[in-house]
Structure formats: C-alpha cells, structure tokens
A and B are shown apart, each in its own frame.
Chain A
Amino acid sequence: MTQGSEIRFVLNGRDVAVPDVAADRTLLDFLRLDRRLTGTKEGCAEGDCGACTVLVGRLTADGLAYAPVNACIRFLASVHGCHVVTVEHLSGRDGKLHPVQQALVDHHGSQCGFCTPGFVMALYALWMEVPEPSEAQVETALQGNLCRCTGYSPIVRAAVAISRYGSPAADPIRLEREAITARLAALRSGHRIVTGPEDNRSILPADIDDFAVCLQDHPGATIVAGATDVGLWVTKFLRPISPAIFVGHLDALKSITIEDGLVRIGAGASYSDVWARLMGHFPHLDAYWSRIAGWQVRNMGTIGGNIANGSPIGDTPPVLIALKAEVTLREGDRRRTMPLEDFFVAYGKQDRAPAEFVEEITVPLPRTGQIDAAYKISKRREEDISSVAAGISVTVLDGRITDCRIAFGGMAGTPKRARAAEAVLNGGSWSQATFDEAAGVLDQDFQPLSDWRASADYRMLVAGNLLRRFFLEHDGERAAPAGKVAA
C-alpha cells in the first residue's frame, strides 16, 4: 500500500511538512523547541493546567471544527491533516490585539501572565462557539485552565465581555475557513503514514480496516487515540510507546448512532462528542459529564480509551456498566462483544488480546420506568479524578425495585458492580430502609484502598450515602420520568 512518511498540517498560516516524527514527540515541544513559538507554555505536562492550550482544527463530517487541546500531551504525529492555531496567530499583523486579548487586558485578567496564553486560547474557542457566554459557560470552558494569581474573577469578567470588542464573524479563522478547509482536504492522502525512527515509530493507518491490519502487524503496539493517558506515559514516566498507532484521525471510530433503541458509540468518540450528542437520551449524565476533566481533555480523550486503559477510577465505565453497556473488540475482521463489566479482569488487566482493539460501545436506551443516576465524588468538584464514582440504574414497578445495576469506580482494582447491594435492592421495596440495607452490605462488595484521593473509610461511607442520595433524590418522582434533582 502507498505510504506517506511526513506529518503535514497547517501551523497558524503556514503549511508544514515534518519528516521523521518520533512517536513520542509532543506538539508542545515541537512548537517551543523547533519553531520557537514560545507563547505556548508548559505548566504541568499532563493536561491539567491548560498553559499549553492551542486550537486544533480538524475536518469532520460537519466541516472544519476547532477545539482547544493540551499541546503538552498531544503528539505531533496526531495533528496530521489539522490546522494548529497558537496564540501567536491571534493578534493582527498591525499588532492590534484580538478581541479576546483586549478584553483580558482591559479587565486586568493577567497577573504573572504565564497561564494567560492558555486562557486566551480557551476563551477564543469559547467565543467562536458562544459569542455571548454566561458565567456558567465560561466556567465550564475554563475547567482545564489553572490560574494561581487572579482568583479568576477578572478573567471571567473579561470572558463575558469579549463580544464588546469584536465579532467572531470578522475573525480571521472564520474568514479563512474555506481556504483552510481546502488546504486541509488537500493533505488527506488516504494513505497510511509511517514515520519516525525505527525504535520510535509513528503509524497513522489509512482507515479503520487498515488500523486492524496495522495492529495485527504490530500486536502490542501502543494505540493512541486522545493521548490523555498515553501522553502522560511519555511526559511523566518517559515510557517508550513505539510502535504507536495513532487513531485520532479515523472518522469511522468517532461515529455515534442510535438505532432500534441501541446507542452505538465509536471507541474514538471524545467526551465532547458524546456530551454534544447523547445527553438528551441520558439526561442524568449531563452534570456528571461536566465533572469529567477539563474542556481540552474532553476534546481529546475518548470513551474507548477510557475503557481500554482499564483504570479503576475511569469516569465512564461505572456509569456505562449501570446502563448495561457492551463493548465490542475487533481483531482483523473478527469481532466479539461482551458486557462491559466483564472486560475488566483485574487491576491493570483487561480482556483484550495484543492485536485487538476496542471498536465500539453499545448502550441500550433507557426503558420506561428506568431510573438512572450518575455520581462523581472528588476532592475538587471539577477537573479532578474521582475518589468514588457511581452509576445506578433501577426500574420500579408497583413500589418494587427490579433490574438493579450498580457499579462503582474507585472502590476496587477495577470498575465493579455492587452485586450484594444489587441483590438487596432487587425485589425490595422502594424505601429508605431498603437503601439503608443495601448501603450496609457494600462492605461485602468492596474493600477500598486509602490513598491521596480518599481514605478507605471515606470511600465506604460515601458509597453507601450515594445509594441513600439516589433514593432521596428520586423519592416522590417515581411516577415521573427520571429527571434531575438538584443536590
């Protein structure tokens, strides 16, 4: 098959072709070291502070779409065919500040200034999508940006005022949209790309079938989707990831469809994709989703990756397990499907062969009478890893509980169902007493650990209380369709 060996993309205004791109070369190092675009900063190199935020524009089924991402954990090879926009692109050639920049200046939005370019880029992305954002929208957009100086108030004040300084319609990125689209389309060769030194190889399959082939050729290769986990293997642990197969560009992996009461989520769909498409069907996940990572990570991280990496505290498995999700694995043309909970064998061990990849997750739409809830507990409310996460699903008929599925994260070495608690609830009456009893048997299901996120005692206490909260929130609403109740 025809192969390419260069990573091509548009960097600000220029077409760039980079040969010999090592698998572990980060976009941030490329920008700062190779291009001396030093406006983009390294604050943490793990996608938690946002100082490295850049926009990556990508051709999607709906056209050119820009999203803020963390350049620190984004690999250079993964921006093939994309438009990378850094802070240097924003102010005009005449030196005039961009509306986002002027708003921040006028509102005293910078103090030390180190985080500022990252804030500029996140707010730029927000303003392009929502020119007149509410404070709540600003806060959600800034979950992935840390500022240690200002206390954020001046930044939020600036963010809601940007449109007083200019209109997104007049923004260069909007005006150049067609030209950039054409330039990006021209970069799409449909070829597989293999680049980087022998021991640090980057592979970009031509399409999903080619991905299956590549993985069979390189079983055990590192599959890199959003890189929000693999990025840290490199930046934090200096782990070799070669050969790395990059799949973030594969549209087929990103599809989200609903047919015959079944939601099919491509493993490469990002948290943002799912949030945009599925919350109408799973309203109980809306608030939960807003607590998963920051905007940049939600744009990069994928549902398939969150499952495949087998983290005991991954945010999506507990809620998906409660929803009766199944996972489809593929090796070559062979596929197998299993209940999601069965995928997690033990801590650090998943039921995936070296040449297999997670292709799809399916979730049945909720049936009438089904009550679902999703809870996340963390030290900081947002952009934090869970101490405890829970998905709960029950159906209540004539005051009796049936079809109870409860799964917890953070309580064991894997995301795990609370079978003993489920047994208490199944067939039990819808009452405080039943839920108290279920909470009381959680110690048969779990012996959690103490660590820096939470003590074992706290985890147990909270897990039980979440069952109680579930009852309290939904008591009195059983007759109504499951809705949200403010905590």
Chain B
Amino acid sequence: MDDERTPQDSEVSDRLTELLEIDRPIPPEPGLPEPVRSLEPAALAQAPAAAVSGAVHQNRVHDSAEKHVTGRADYTDDIAQPEGTLHAYLGVSKIARARLKGLDLDAVRRAPGVVDVLTAADVPGINDVSPTGRNDDPVFPTDEIEFHGQPLFAVVAETRDAARRAALLAVVDCEPLPFALDPVSARKADYPYVAPPLKLERGEVDPALSAAPRRLAGSIRIGGQDHMYLEGQIAFAIPGEDDEMVVHCSTQHPSEAQHMVAQVLGVPSNAVTVNVRRMGGGFGGKESQMNLFCAVAAIAARRTGRPVKIRPDRDQDMTATGKRHDFVVDYTVGFDESGRIQAVEADFAARCGFSSDLSGPVTDRALFHADNAYFYPHVRLRSHPMKTNTVSNTAFRGFGGPQGVVFAERMIEEIAYATGQDPLDVRKANFYGGAGRDLTPYHQSVEDNILDRLVGELEEKADYRRRRAQIVAANAGSTIVKRGIALTPVKFGISFTATWYNQAGALIHVYNDGSIHLNHGGTEMGQGLNTKVAQVVADAFQVDFERIKITKTTTEKVPNTSATAASSGSDLNGMAALDAVEQIKARLVTFATETYGVAAEDVAFLPNAVRIGAETMSFDAFVKEAYKARIQLSAAGFYKTPKIHWDRDKGMGRPFYYYSYGAACSEVSIDTLTGEYRVERTDILHDVGRSLNPALDKGQVEGAFVQGMGWLTTEELWWDDKGALRTHAPSTYKIPLASDRPRVFNVDLADWSENRELTIKRSKAVGEPPFMLGISVFEALSMAVASVADYRKCPRLDAPATPERVLMAVSRLKTKA
C-alpha cells in the first residue's frame, strides 16, 4: 500500500524534484553571503541586493533569539490571562498500585478558593488520552491506581496556590495490591506487554551461533532519562461559544492534543483549537504528555465556563509524566577471532509504565537501532514492552534508538576485550558495506553509508591511535587516575516508523504589501525549525528573511499535523512550505506571462525583485500588481515522504527514507578512589547533509551530545521500595552543567555530505542522531575502568555510569583481577 503513489503524489514529487535539483552550492564559509548569481546587466538596473538575507545553507540566528535574551518571548505561562481565569492542579496517588474504592474529596471542596473538583466521573466524553488509541490511558482512573504519583483528580481554584494546597487534602480509600516497578520483576510477576512485541529476524540464528568460533552472553541495564525541559508542562484552556475550546499549551503535537481534547469533551475536533507559540524545550516529553494537561484544563474550562490554566510544579511534572524507557538487554553474540560478528540474539525488555503511550513504537525503534552501524549476518531481536507500576514512559530524543545503539556498542566492547583488540578495529570490521553486507535486521538495504570516510576523518582529526597508545602507557604508570578513550559511530534511521505520520502541511499568505505570513504544522521547541522553514521560504521567493512573519502553530491553519518529532521537523515542514511557495510562484509566473507577454522562462525571482523579460520590478510592486489582477496569493502546501513502507508483522520493509551518520571520540579520566570523572576532550564529526543552517545544526549537535552524555553519566532515575520516584527535581536529578561539557570540545559538520535522497535542499535531519554521540563518553569510561584489570575483561558498566557505578566496577574488576 505504501508503495502506491497517486498521480497527485508524483506530480508533487516531480515538481519538488525539479526544485531540488537546481540547488545552489554551499558558500565556502558559513555565514558569508552567497555568490551573486550571474545576471544580465539589464536585470540589475534597479540594483537589487546581491543576495537575500537568511537564505538556505547560511548561518542565521534563531528567529526568536532577541526575544529570548530580553525575556520578551512568550511561553504559555506568560500569556496575559483573561479576567476570571482559574487554576487547576492535580491530586496524585501516594501508592504504587491499589484497588481504588473511593475518593473522599469533601475537604478539598471546602478548601479556600476552590471552585470545582474533577474526577473520572466528570469527564464528559471518553476518559482516555492514549496517543495510540489503545484506551489504556485514563485522564483519571476509575478502578485501579497503577503508579505512585498517578493523577487521581484535579482541583480548580481561584489561584494556583489555593489549588495546590487543596489537592493535598483528599482521602483516598484504596486496597493495596502487589506491584512491579522494573521490567525484570514485571516479567517474573507475569505482567503483560503494554503493546504487541516486535521480532526482527534474518538468517539462521541458532545454527550460526552454534557454529561461531567464539560466543559470549551478557546483560546490560540501560537507565531511563527525564526530559528536564526547563519549561514544564502547561495548558491554558479558554472556553468559547457553543462547544468551542481554545487551548494554548506547550505541546509538540498540537493535532493530537486537539483530538484528545475533543475526545474527552465529547465534541468534534472542529470545536477545538490548539495553539503553540513555542516550547521551553520538548525533547519528546511534550509529544503525548501534554494530552492530560490539555484535557484537564479543557474539562475544567467547560464546566466552569471560565479560562483555566494548569501548570504542575517541577516535582509533579517529573513524577506524573513519562520519561525515556529504561531497558534490560540480554544478548548472545557469536563472532570469529578477528572480531567479526556472525550472529546476534538479543531480548530487549523495557520499563513501559502502566500504559502503552508510545511504548510500542519506542521499543520497535530500539530494535531498529540495535544494529547501529554494524552488519549482523544472522540476527534475532525481540522486544518486550513490559507493563510496570510506574509512570507511563514516552518519547525522548532518539525514541528507543539510543538504547538499541548502546546495546550494539556494548557488544562491540565485549568482542574487543574478548579478542584483545582496539574496539575501533572491531567496529570497522563490522561496519555495513562490502558484498552482501548491507542488509539490516529489518531487511532495508543500507545504501547511503558514509561511515568509512566519516570515521576515518574523525580518527585522523582526533589523533585517536596515537592518543590511545599514550593513554594505555600513561595508565600503566598511574595508580589513582586512569584514562580512557573511545570513538563511536552513529547511524540513525530517519522517518516515523508509523508511515502515516510522514506528512506535513503549511500555509503561506503573501499580503498585498509584499509581506509574507508563514505557518506550518511543526512546532518550535528551540531547535530553530521556524527559522529553517522561513529560510526555505525566503530562498524560494528570493526575499529577505525579515519579510517573513513566523506565526504560532495552530490547528486552525494546518490540520492533521504530525508530532514535531523523529527529527522530521525540517524535512517535512520545509518541504510543505516549499510546496506552498511554489504554488504561489506558479500563479505569479502565469500572471506575469499573461500580463506582460513574456515566456515563463523569462520570469525570474531575483533578490527582493522579479525580472520579467528585460524589466525588473521590486517584489512588493509585483505582488501589488498581482493582487490587483486578482491572483490568489495564499496557498496550502503539503508533503509526504516518498519511498517508505513497513510491514510490522513480517518485520520487513523500508521504514526509513535515509540514514544520518556521525561519530564522536571522547577521552575521560576517572578517579579510582571515588569513581568521579571528567570528560577531557571530545571531537565530533557529524553528518547533516547539506545543512539548511550550519550554525543551528551545530547547536543541535553540541546540545544533543551533552544531553546524551548526561543520560549515560549523572542522570539517574531512582525509585524507592514504595515505588516513589525520588529523583524528581533538579536538586536530585542531575543533568550536565556548563562545567561538565568536555574540557576540549571540537564539533564539526561533515560539510562534504549531501543527502542522496531528495530531501529539502539535500539536508538531513539533526534533532536525534547526535544524541547518541554521547555514547563515546560511556565507552571511554568503560575503558578507563577496564585499565585496572589490564583491559582483559569487559567492565560491563550499566548506565548511567554514575561515579558510584564507576567505582563499584573498578572495585569488582580489581577483586577479580
């Protein structure tokens, strides 16, 4: 089905193909104006600017940067509140699992300032906000409490403070039930899967494992991660006439929030508008998790007829909303003496939490990336999306992929220590490439692999071999401080594996003064999506960036959008916006040819001007003329990713349009008395194709690396034996600080790379792939630990490698040595 293309599709694709093929060269130095196109002298009569500002492939600061630094950028909590605004707050469970017998909310209702209290019985529509329609994610539970911190009811009061205080006064009548917090105990307790598991299989795994000259089995625990977006969850609902509801919120997925609000209110989607100007960080944590807050605010607003805002405090935000899944991976790998992998079998058990949320696709993606950059001749991978009595885990940058990659890199390490090789040599020996070595476990061919070149260049740039030898020598002479170095690659598949998500829309108006209004279905969470899409529009119209007004994302302008997720924002929305521009331009060209009697080839969009035959007029004047001639100056653009298809039951297809690549080399030092460590140096070479905006892309790479490093080092989620998450605020949950970034940090984009597929201006996605560069730090720590036993044993560090885990691993190896 996915292979079928309607005539309309191919038309769109052909048009875009044409546009993309006329792409221009990247300027030699980012930030410099592009070379002037060759023009006939006559065309320059009105001396248009040599080039427009903010075109593609140029550095351009974030469009909101000035507002960020002055504090004038409005986040949802900064929107001026209409008079009469009320505030909601969640009352939550203090028990991990129980049969819910009753809620005594009298004291809550009587508390000062309280206007209303909401329970499951007060949901006018369907009591479910499950993003995948599995009907397992109630706004409030009715029969069973399923995790410590689960929202049970909401209080609506005159002030947020009053609502918070009142929420503590509930008496919950419940009967405790046995609970399981992690995937291992859940499997022991025979807990169900929250979503259907996935199996990826290719080749003859069992015979190949038996026949392998070497074989080893192991297990790794990979911890979860809190998003720690600086702006927490927030929704602000304003009731309108009839059944209308406007919700301002901080979500990556306005359409889903819209549909969920409609569902809980029992109204059609056309009654609900969801607006997002910007988020103070998302990272996946605001893909589905805002549904609950939007639903509560909207129900409260409907009942009270007043605007209602809900904003949990940081502790509640961290305990009541989902995180990155932690995994336990059990694996067996067969390989030969040279370290080349022959067969792999692995089981991925994930802590999914009480409901499915996005756990199905997340655990799927863990398997999709369990190969990372390596060819497995025979492979069997299974996911186990375990139900647990914890908050329902959700999307987080990489979406399960990073856990898969950590597993792959652990296997490489195991083989390296077992065969006494430099892990980099084991990596290279197993890269995709060479005859018959390009098929992934999901039967997609890797056709665009650039890792040989990319890793080779980084190896040189980072002086890896010499430094590694120096480190090994230095470690031999150092008793307390040990060093480690690792160079790890990343290959990351780009596209939503839910194929239907790979679509986007945009709406562009050109007003008759020549100013341009840009709207698209993507959301801005800091990644610079709006800036990049505006660059595409500026470039296509050949107008200055400043002429384009970037507006809030709203379901009123672009319907049925996908989440801004899976690194797809620029790929999808950039294309949709380009489609809209080209529709308008086509009309303008037709207008010019008909009005001025020139051929279409004689109409050209020059910087802020249009050349029609021998004459050139300003863009503004031309637009005004077109307006007077009653030309439609508005268009809705659309795009859907070609070529992709996926048959989940068979575990076969082409789920990814293309791959992004990167590699990082990190050096660390550890203190073997305390386990404390420092990242001494990191070198990165990352592939973003032909960057739409190198400065923003580099910012994504640097930020993702540090976030990935944090995941694997100091960011630890810790539940107590009652099932309460005790690391629930930045006081207890430690993300990297400025001083934690590598002491030397060299980040480069692979400027020679260009997407082989026809993506927007041949760029590649950048949001998620560089997150996995942080694995180089984890592996370097592992090497430093291994040094205490002369690199003969794989330290088998679990993640996160806190100072405690490092010291305990040192202690373990020393004892065994």
Instruction: State in angstroms the CA–CA spacing of A385 and B67 once bound together.
Output: 34
Binary per-residue interface labels of chain A (462-477) against chain B in the complex, 1 for a CB within 8 Å, 0 otherwise: 1001101100100000
Q: Is the CB of B731 within 8 A of A46?
A: yes
Q: Is the CB of B741 within 8 A of A151?
A: yes
Asked if B730 is at the interface (CB within 8 A of a chain A CB), the reply is yes
> Do A384 and B734 contact each other (CB < 8 Å), given the known contacts A41-B231, A88-B71, A106-B61?
yes
Residues of B within 8 A of A154 (CB): 699, 702
Residues of B within 8 A of A461 (CB): 807-808, 811
Q: Is the CB of A115 within 8 A of B674?
A: no
In whole Å, how far is A486's beta carbon from the nearest beta carbon of chain B? 9
Asked if A327 is at the interface (CB within 8 A of a chain B CB), the reply is no
Binary per-residue interface labels of chain A (139-170) against chain B in the complex, 1 for a CB within 8 Å, 0 otherwise: 11011011111111111100000000000000
- One of B73-81, B215-223, B268-276, B619-627 at the interface: B73-81
Asked if B283 is at the interface (CB within 8 A of a chain A CB), the reply is yes
Asked if A175 is at the interface (CB within 8 A of a chain B CB), the reply is no
Instruction: State in angstroms the CA–CA spacing of A465 and B803 once bound together.
Output: 13
> Do A112 and B526 contact each other (CB < 8 Å), given the known contacts A91-B70, A154-B702?
yes
In whole Å, how far is B467's beta carbon from the nearest beta carbon of chain A? 21
In whole Å, how far is A136's beta carbon from the nearest beta carbon of chain B? 8
- One of B372-380, B572-580, B703-711 at the interface: B703-711
Residues of A within 8 A of B739 (CB): 139-140, 142-143, 381-382
Residues of B within 8 A of A381 (CB): 676, 678, 737, 739-740
In whole Å, how far is B712's beta carbon from the nearest beta carbon of chain A? 13
Asked if B313 is at the interface (CB within 8 A of a chain A CB), the reply is yes
Instruction: State in angstroms the CA–CA spacing of A98 and B232 once bound together.
Output: 28
In whole Å, how far is B742's beta carbon from the nearest beta carbon of chain A? 9
Chain A residues bordering chain B, tally (CB within 8 A): 83
Instruction: State in angstroms the CA–CA spacing of A335 and B73 once bound together.
Output: 53
Q: Is the CB of A113 within 8 A of B64?
A: yes
Instruction: State in angstroms the CA–CA spacing of A105 and B726 once bound together.
Output: 37
Q: Is the CB of B804 within 8 A of A454?
A: yes
Asked if A356 is at the interface (CB within 8 A of a chain B CB), the reply is no
In whole Å, how far is B74's beta carbon from the nearest beta carbon of chain A? 7
Q: Is the CB of A458 within 8 A of B808?
A: yes
Q: Is the CB of A38 within 8 A of B74?
A: yes
Asked if A268 is at the interface (CB within 8 A of a chain B CB), the reply is no
* A-facing residues in B457-514 (Cβ within 8 Å): 480-481
Q: Is the CB of A43 within 8 A of B314?
A: yes
Q: Is the CB of A39 within 8 A of B230?
A: no
> Do A112 and B737 contact each other (CB < 8 Å), given the known contacts A87-B70, A101-B69, A465-B673?
no
- Looking across the interface, which residue of chain B has its beta carbon closest to that of A375? B674
Asked if A55 is at the interface (CB within 8 A of a chain B CB), the reply is no
Asked if B150 is at the interface (CB within 8 A of a chain A CB), the reply is no
Instruction: State in angstroms the CA–CA spacing of A318 and B61 once bound together.
Output: 48
> Do A377 and B738 contact each other (CB < 8 Å), given the known contacts A113-B73, A152-B706?
no
Residues of B within 8 A of A382 (CB): 737, 739-740
Q: Is the interface of A mostly helix, strand, loop or mixed?
A: loop
Q: Is the CB of A38 within 8 A of B78?
A: yes
Contact of A151 among B72, B232, B675, B707 (CB under 8 A): B707
Binary per-residue interface labels of chain B (278-290) against chain A in the complex, 1 for a CB within 8 Å, 0 otherwise: 1111110000000
Residues of B within 8 A of A458 (CB): 675, 804, 807-808
Asked if B764 is at the interface (CB within 8 A of a chain A CB), the reply is no
* B-facing residues in A53-94 (Cβ within 8 Å): 86-88, 90-91
In whole Å, how far is A198's beta carbon from the nearest beta carbon of chain B? 15
Asked if B62 is at the interface (CB within 8 A of a chain A CB), the reply is yes
Asked if A171 is at the interface (CB within 8 A of a chain B CB), the reply is no
Instruction: State in angstroms the CA–CA spacing of A40 and B230 once bound together.
Output: 12
Asked if B660 is at the interface (CB within 8 A of a chain A CB), the reply is no
Binary per-residue interface labels of chain A (372-388) against chain B in the complex, 1 for a CB within 8 Å, 0 otherwise: 00000111111111010
Asked if B596 is at the interface (CB within 8 A of a chain A CB), the reply is no
Residues of A within 8 A of B278 (CB): 112-113
- Looking across the interface, which residue of chain A has its beta carbon closest to that of B479? A472
- Looking across the interface, which residue of chain A has its beta carbon closest to that of B317? A44
* A-facing residues in B52-74 (Cβ within 8 Å): 61-62, 64-74
Q: Is the CB of B230 within 8 A of A146?
A: yes
Q: Is the CB of B61 within 8 A of A147?
A: no
Q: Is the CB of A452 within 8 A of B716?
A: yes
- Looking across the interface, which residue of chain B has its beta carbon closest to that of A40? B71
Q: Is the CB of B313 within 8 A of A151?
A: no
Binary per-residue interface labels of chain B (747-762) against chain A in the complex, 1 for a CB within 8 Å, 0 otherwise: 1000000000000000
Asked if A49 is at the interface (CB within 8 A of a chain B CB), the reply is yes
Residues of B within 8 A of A179 (CB): none
Q: Is the CB of A451 within 8 A of B726?
A: yes
Instruction: State in angstroms the CA–CA spacing of A45 and B311 once bound together.
Output: 13
Binary per-residue interface labels of chain B (659-698) against chain A in the complex, 1 for a CB within 8 Å, 0 otherwise: 0000000000001011110100000000000000001101
Contact of A455 among B165, B729, B804 (CB under 8 A): B804
Q: Is the CB of B804 within 8 A of A44?
A: no
Contact of B735 among A51, A143, A146, A465 (CB under 8 A): A146
Residues of B within 8 A of A86 (CB): 71
In whole Å, how far is A161's beta carbon from the nearest beta carbon of chain B? 14
Contact of B738 among A42, A51, A152 (CB under 8 A): A152
Asked if A97 is at the interface (CB within 8 A of a chain B CB), the reply is yes
Residues of A within 8 A of B730 (CB): 43-44, 46, 48-49, 146
In whole Å, how far is A229's beta carbon from the nearest beta carbon of chain B? 11
Give the most central of B78, B676, B704, B716: most A CB within 10 Å: B676
Residues of B within 8 A of A46 (CB): 314, 729-731
Q: Is the CB of A462 within 8 A of B71?
A: no
In whole Å, how far is A215's beta carbon from the nearest beta carbon of chain B? 28
Q: Is the CB of A142 within 8 A of B738?
A: yes
> Do A379 and B803 contact each other (CB < 8 Å), given the known contacts A106-B61, A114-B281, A153-B745?
yes
In whole Å, how far is A156's beta carbon from the nearest beta carbon of chain B? 6
Asked if A334 is at the interface (CB within 8 A of a chain B CB), the reply is no
Instruction: State in angstroms the CA–CA spacing of A40 and B280 once bound together.
Output: 13
Instruction: State in angstroms the CA–CA spacing of A105 and B740 once bound together.
Output: 23
Asked if A325 is at the interface (CB within 8 A of a chain B CB), the reply is no
- Looking across the interface, which residue of chain B has its beta carbon closest to that of A36? B80
Instruction: State in angstroms the CA–CA spacing of A384 and B705 once bound together.
Output: 21
Instruction: State in angstroms the CA–CA spacing of A146 and B228 once bound together.
Output: 9
* B-facing residues in A437-481 (Cβ within 8 Å): 451-455, 457-458, 461-462, 465-466, 468-469, 472
Asked if B568 is at the interface (CB within 8 A of a chain A CB), the reply is no
Residues of A within 8 A of B64 (CB): 110, 113
Asked if A116 is at the interface (CB within 8 A of a chain B CB), the reply is yes
Give the most central of B77, B705, B730: most A CB within 10 Å: B730
Q: Is the CB of B230 within 8 A of A51?
A: yes
- Looking across the interface, which residue of chain A has its beta carbon closest to that of B701? A151
* B-facing residues in A341-372 (Cβ within 8 Å): none
Residues of A within 8 A of B747 (CB): 153
Asked if B168 is at the interface (CB within 8 A of a chain A CB), the reply is yes
Instruction: State in angstroms the CA–CA spacing of A145 and B747 once bound together.
Output: 23
> Do A105 and B807 contact each other (CB < 8 Å), given the known contacts A49-B230, A114-B281, A148-B281?
no
In whole Å, how far is B698's beta carbon from the nearest beta carbon of chain A? 8
Contact of A155 among B61, B526, B727, B738 (CB under 8 A): B738
Q: Is the CB of B528 within 8 A of A111?
A: yes
- Looking across the interface, which residue of chain B has its beta carbon closest to that of A140? B739
Asked if B718 is at the interface (CB within 8 A of a chain A CB), the reply is yes
In whole Å, how far is B128's beta carbon from the nearest beta carbon of chain A? 30
Instruction: State in angstroms the CA–CA spacing of A69 and B437 once bound together.
Output: 58
Instruction: State in angstroms the CA–CA spacing of A88 and B71 once bound together.
Output: 7
Instruction: State in angstroms the CA–CA spacing of A256 and B77 once bound together.
Output: 43
Give the most central of B72, B168, B714, B739: most A CB within 10 Å: B739
Q: Is the CB of A142 within 8 A of B737?
A: yes
Give the most central of B67, B69, B227, B739: most A CB within 10 Å: B69
In the A-B complex, the 5 residue pairs with the closest CB atoms: A39-B71, A114-B280, A112-B526, A113-B68, A151-B706
A selection of 23 A-B contacts at a CB cut-off of 8 Å is A43-B232, A49-B730, A51-B230, A97-B70, A101-B66, A113-B69, A113-B280, A113-B526, A117-B68, A120-B69, A139-B739, A147-B738, A148-B735, A153-B747, A154-B699, A154-B702, A156-B738, A379-B803, A380-B734, A451-B726, A453-B732, A455-B804, A469-B674
